[in-house]
A and B are shown apart, each in its own frame.
Chain A
Amino acid sequence: MATLAQEQALPTYETRASRLGVVATGTFRYLRRNPELIVGLCLLAALMAFVAFGHALVDLDKARPLSTRPLLPPSPVLPFGSDKQGRNLLAVMVVGTPQTLEIGVLAGLIGVSVGTVLALVSAFYRGAADAIIRGVVDVGLTIPGLMVLITLAMNVKGGLTIPQMILVVAALAWLFPARVIRAQVLSSREKAYIDVARLSGMPTPAIIVKEVLPNLMPFIVASLVGSVSAAVLASVGLEVLGLGSFDSLTIGMTLYWVIYYAAIINSWWWWWLPPIVIIIMLFTGLFLIAVGLDEFANPRLRRRT
Chain B
Amino acid sequence: MSSLLEARGVSKIFGGGLFDKRVTVALDAFSFAIESTPPRVTAIVGESGSGKTTLARLLLGLITPTTGEVLYNGTNLRKLARDDRRSFLRDVQMIFQDPYEVYNPFYKVDHVLETPITEFKLASGQQARRALIHESLRAVGLRPDETLGRYPHQLSGGQRQRIMVARAVLLRPRLIIADEPVSMVDASLRATILDSLRQLNRDYGMSIVYITHDLTTAYQISDNIIVLYRGSVAEAGDVDLVVRQPKHPYTQLLIQSVPEPDPAHPWGAVEIRTDVGEVANGATQVELNVPVGLLPAGAGASATAKAHGGHLLSGCPFADRCPHVMAMCRDSVPPLYQLDPARAAACFLYRDSGPALAVEQLNEVMSAAGSSARST
Instruction: Report which A residues bind B (CB closer than 8 A).
Output: 4-5, 8, 10, 191-193, 195-202, 211, 214-215
Instruction: Report which B residues bind A (CB closer than 8 A).
Output: 60, 62, 86, 89, 93-94, 96, 98, 101-107, 112, 115-116, 119-120, 146, 150, 154, 167
A192 partner, pick from B60, B96, B119, B150, beta carbons under 8 A: B96
Q: Are A215 and B104 in contact (CB under 8 A)?
A: yes
Q: Which residues of A contact B94 (CB under 8 A)?
A: 195, 199
Q: Are B112 and A4 in contact (CB under 8 A)?
A: no
B119 partner, pick from A8, A191, A202, beta carbons under 8 A: A202
A10 partner, pick from B86, B107, B120, B150, beta carbons under 8 A: B150
20 interchain pairs (CB within 8 A)?
A4-B146, A8-B154, A10-B154, A192-B96, A192-B102, A193-B101, A193-B103, A193-B104, A195-B62, A195-B94, A196-B102, A197-B104, A199-B89, A199-B93, A200-B112, A200-B115, A200-B119, A200-B120, A201-B115, A201-B119
Q: Which of chain A's residues has its CB closest to B98's CB?
A: A192
In Å, the complex CA distance between A157 and B360 comes to 76
**Given A10-B154, A200-B119, A201-B120, CB of A215 within 8 Å of CB of B146:** no
Q: Are B104 and A201 in contact (CB under 8 A)?
A: no
Q: Give min CB distance, A30 to chain B, whole Å.
A: 17
Q: Which residues of B contact A4 (CB under 8 A)?
A: 146
Other contacts beyond A196-B102, A196-B112: 4, CB < 8 A: A192-B98, A201-B115, A214-B104, A214-B107
Q: Which residues of B contact A195 (CB under 8 A)?
A: 62, 94, 96, 102
Q: Which of chain B's residues has its CB closest to A12's CB?
A: B149
Q: How many pairs of residues, A versus B, come closer than 8 Å at their CB atoms? A: 53
Q: Which residues of A contact B104 (CB under 8 A)?
A: 191, 193, 197, 211, 214-215
Q: Are B146 and A193 in contact (CB under 8 A)?
A: no
Q: Which residues of B contact A199 (CB under 8 A)?
A: 60, 89, 93-94
Q: Are A196 and B96 in contact (CB under 8 A)?
A: yes
Q: Which residues of A contact B105 (CB under 8 A)?
A: 215
In Å, the complex CA distance between A196 and B119 comes to 13
Q: Give min CB distance, A75 to chain B, whole Å.
A: 57
Q: Are B115 and A197 in contact (CB under 8 A)?
A: yes
In Å, the complex CA distance between A10 and B108 comes to 14
Q: Which residues of A contact B116 (CB under 8 A)?
A: 200-201
Q: Which of chain B's residues has its CB closest to A203's CB?
A: B119
Q: Give min CB distance, B300 to chain A, whole Å.
A: 22
Q: Which residues of B contact A8 (CB under 8 A)?
A: 146, 154
Q: Give min CB distance, B278 to chain A, whole Å.
A: 31
Q: Which residues of B contact A200 (CB under 8 A)?
A: 89, 112, 115-116, 119-120, 167
In Å, the complex CA distance between A192 and B164 comes to 12
Q: Which of chain B's residues has its CB closest to A188's CB?
A: B104
Q: Which residues of B contact A214 (CB under 8 A)?
A: 104, 106-107
Q: Which residues of A contact B154 (CB under 8 A)?
A: 8, 10
Q: Give min CB distance, B154 to chain A, whole Å.
A: 6
Q: Which of chain A's residues has its CB closest to B168's CB?
A: A199
In Å, the complex CA distance between A211 and B98 comes to 18
Q: Give min CB distance, A262 to chain B, whole Å.
A: 56
